Structure 1
Amino acid sequence: MESLGDLLKAMPGGRNVREQADRLMAELLEDPLVGRLRGKYPELDDATIRLNLNRVYQCAKEYRNCSNCPGLDQCPNDFEGHYTELTVETLGELVQLNDRKVPCKKLTARQSETRIRSRIRSFYIDERALSQGYSADEIVKKDLERVKAVGQIVNYIDRTKEKGLQAEGLYLTGSFGTGKTFLMCYMLHELAKTGHTGAIVYMPEFVEDMKALMFEQGKLKETMDILKDTDLLVFDDIGAENLNPWVRDHVLGSILNYRMNRKPTFYTSNYGLDEIEQHFSFTNKDGDDLHKGQRLMDRIRPYVQPVHVTGQNKRGR
């Protein structure tokens, strides 16, 4: 942004700086912003304005920029996302004009959104699912067939905001592409606004990584501790993974055993609860083991509210 000195030099007859300053002073006194400032601080006289001409010019210039904001990334102000705010202080007979940089609403909103996202960890999930904005109305309008499911999730969010973390989570089931992952990201985003931490894990890739970390106990423990301790944990697309007994019993079982009665866990799946129990009962190594599958389900079924998500397949649209 141009300085006051540059402006005076660029004005016609720039050699007479005093005359140019007088002209600029007259323009600023007619500026509505300066009028509002003097209305708020009646003690602000012409002499004080002239003495602080650079500050007043800066404030007026930045105010006009903000009134025609081109967006935060193209902010023309000296300090991106900030504008100059003027205040007046009277010390005896001395009237003093003070200025400070204030973050604009767009910057404040961006910083707030960054803080919200920092509370959510994603493992193998497309970051776009967490970074885009969310609107409950838009979520409903995208597919009226899933209104009931959206209502259940919104009620869960409201209940958590009012009463704190719930004892049970949600188990979202439904066909491919109905938006189950998107709805869970929406829930994490909304509850992150109130300070809750969250993590979402894409199960097929998570399971393969856990197999690879079997002999790297430090990294394995670090990952498991994150998933145990986060306020809200989502296992996405559960049932699509290729389980082995070790991941089922020592990783997934350990995480769920720690979280039950402590913090809620959420799931999305193309399978219902009965079908997912059958899935847990079979591994490529041991074949059928109904007892192990049932044992894991004892850490899931009592701690979730089933939500059936209906609607059209939205992938590729």
Structure 2
Amino acid sequence: MNTENNIYGKALSIIEARRQKAMTDATLRTEKIEREIPQIAELNTQLAQTSCEIAKLIVSHNGNFEEGLEKIKQTNLEGQRLLTDLLVQNGYEADYFEPKFTCTVCSDTGFVNGEKCSCLTKLIEKLTVEKLNSNSQINLCSFDTFDLSYYDNAQNPQWRDTMTKIRDYCIRYAENFSINSANIFMLGNPGLGKTHLSLSIAKTVLEKGYTVAYDSIINYLNAINREHYGRSDGDTLSTLLEVDLLVLDDLGSEPENSFYVSTIYNIINTRLNRGLPTIISSNISREEIQSRYNDRIVSRLFTMYDCLRFSGTDVRQLKRINGQKNT
């Protein structure tokens, strides 16, 4: 079974488990109330006899079948009304016995009129993204561990001010994130904190319940390339086009070829058209970006993204000098 089928099967199992839990909880609630209020137990027993009474009516060949069926129906409705009244009188909701499904649209079946419910589609996307993120460092960084002291420099006092503003911008972005949030293009030399801050945003947004895909652009492009030419299963490209927030690290690290360039343009342009936010970071200069990529990519990056230009000295080198662990 391939990866896509594994994820689909896992999603169905999760939804079925939700349904079974809702049904079990409803049964337990019913049993509890029946013990507390014997009259409700009696009414439930009477209502449960409805199908038996209908079956008896059918086999009796009574000429007044329609009349008998209507009588059973009215008796059943009256029993339901009495049951609801008893529940409300005793401080319970009228639908207390009904299963509380996670998805009220499909009642936790995963399907509506033979088509996949949106809850199943979203769960498949969530599981796919989790698999994509399984090897990322998304839980290793936070805004709290972003140390501005590394940007103190007597010759360049503006570094700390610049990086404070960038950090604060990223914090506000993460805290106020929605699927309508802006796109971000992080530019600067290696080791200035682009990965740290983009990971911190990704972690915060994930904790809010959004779907987030984070990895280096070369890893994603390699996966898409393998899938495109049938060397592996999965549909990484579709996931990247649909996820709530996409974070592409290290633009410019990928080999230069037409397939990668067209794929990068497809991802950037499609997400812009869908209004979905993307964060891209790069260690190469604006001039290198302009010489490496076509005008369609360059114009979108510099006109439709908020550009954050990082300043400072390579923090990774400073940490190594101080004997600290890099993140």
Give me the TM-score of the superposition, normalised by structure 1. 0.50
* C-alpha deviation, 1:266, in angstroms: 1.2
More strand per residue: 1
User: Does the CA contact (< 8 Å) of 2:151 and 2:312 recur in 1?
Assistant: yes
For the residues of structure 2 that align with 1:118 and 1:139, how far apart are their CA atoms?
Answer: 33
Counterpart amino acid of 2:186?
L
1:134 counterpart (142, 151, 154)? 142
Change (3 A) 1:196 1:229: same
SS of equivalent residue, structure 2 residue 240: helix
Counterpart amino acid of 1:229?
E
Aligned length in residues: 186
1:165 counterpart (170, 173, 179)? 179
The equivalent of 1:278 in structure 2 is 291
SS of equivalent residue, structure 2 residue 276: coil
Where structure 2 has 5 or more consecutive residues not aligned to the other structure, the ranges are 1-125, 153-158, 321-327
For the residues of structure 1 that align with 2:277 and 2:299, how far apart are their CA atoms?
Answer: 14
* C-alpha deviation, 1:231, in angstroms: 1.5
Change (3 A) 1:192 1:122: same
Deviation track 1:116-150 (CA, whole Å, cap 9, x = no partner) reads: x98975858964x3223524474334544455234
SS of equivalent residue, structure 1 residue 213: helix
Counterpart amino acid of 1:256?
I
SS of equivalent residue, structure 1 residue 236: strand
Give me the TM-score of the superposition, normalised by structure 2. 0.49
Structure with greater contact order relative to length (CA < 8 Å, sep ≥ 6): 2
* C-alpha deviation, 1:159, in angstroms: 4.6
2:268 counterpart (243, 256, 266)? 256
* C-alpha deviation, 1:239, in angstroms: 0.9
More helix per residue: 2
* C-alpha deviation, 1:218, in angstroms: 8.0
For the residues of structure 2 that align with 1:126 and 1:143, how far apart are their CA atoms?
Answer: 30
User: Does the CA contact (< 8 Å) of 2:170 and 2:197 recur in 1?
Assistant: no
For the residues of structure 2 that align with 1:305 and 1:122, how far apart are their CA atoms?
Answer: 29
SS of equivalent residue, structure 1 residue 237: strand
**Residues 209-288 of structure 1: matches in 2 within 5 Å?**
209-216=223-230, 219=233, 222-249=235-262, 251-261=263-273, 262-280=275-293
Deviation track 1:135-180 (CA, whole Å, cap 9, x = no partner) reads: 4474334544455234334334425644733453111111121121
For the residues of structure 2 that align with 1:227 and 1:132, how far apart are their CA atoms?
Answer: 22
Change (3 A) 1:123 1:240: farther
The equivalent of 1:67 in structure 2 is none
Change (3 A) 1:315 1:194: same
Deviation track 1:204-246 (CA, whole Å, cap 9, x = no partner) reads: 33333433333129846x1011111112111111012113112
* Aligned residues: CA RMSD: 3.2
The equivalent of 2:213 in structure 1 is 199
* C-alpha deviation, 1:186, in angstroms: 0.7
The equivalent of 1:304 in structure 2 is 305
Counterpart amino acid of 2:214?
I
Where structure 1 has 5 or more consecutive residues not aligned to the other structure, the ranges are 1-116, 281-292
Change (3 A) 1:209 1:310: same
For the residues of structure 2 that align with 1:136 and 1:296, how far apart are their CA atoms?
Answer: 34
